[in-house]
Amino acid sequence: MNNFTKKIILASASPRRKELLSQIGVKFEIIVSDAEEITEASEPSQVVMDLSKLKATDIFIKLTEEEKRQSLVIGADTVVSLEGQIMGKPGNAENAVRMLSSLQGKTHQVYTGVTLVYWEEASDMCRCQSFFEKTDVTLYPMTEDEIKVYVTTGEPMDKAGGYAIQGKCAIHVKEICGDYSNVVGLPIGRLYQEMKNTFSGFEIWEDTKE
């Protein structure tokens, strides 16, 4: 039986994260963080955890005292790393072409950091729990024309590394080692395990047996 009573809030405007969370049957609402994304970290794993925590805590501190006790805020951040160099969202066609040109024919890493912020009744205080997942992705070699055609679709602009693995770039993906959903933007398998281990009685599926 599902004894989890907290309201789940996703601190992200990403339609991919919304879709992934909905896909596994979680009921939640979206409140988008507008906090400035700043971190002093340089390691990709720490960067995504820092930024996911920043987003989640930004929303949590804006809740009323009563809402804080009743809510679980989930923050997430994703980056692409090639040979230790972090790639965020290209934002424009020129950057997208540059990113894709550097990634084609190579293996890179996709990191997603996730932070859970909630009020712990036992200690009567706020808790932050962060983790990350890493997935290796290899793209087939792409011609200049293939890169330019893909960029003209507009799909790369708001995607870390300049591509969407679940979109039109799927035809250029050679190999994935790790969690696919992590590349999309939210490692839902790991997220479920973390929530199940943290919150007693948490289940995705309601018990419908009589």
Which DSSP helix (H) or strand (E) runs through 111? strand 107-120
Alpha helix segments (H runs only) across the chain: 15-23, 44-60, 65-70, 93-103, 144-152, 180-184, 188-198
> Tokens at residue 112, please?
């997603």
* Residue 145 known to be catalytic: no
- Angle (CA) 35-56-82 rounded to 5° is 80
Catalytic residue among 58, 77, 124, 145: 77
- Angle (CA) 194-25-76 rounded to 5° is 45
Q: State how far Cα 114 lies from the chain centre.
A: 6
Amino acid identity at 119: W
Query: Which residues form the catalytic set?
Result: 77
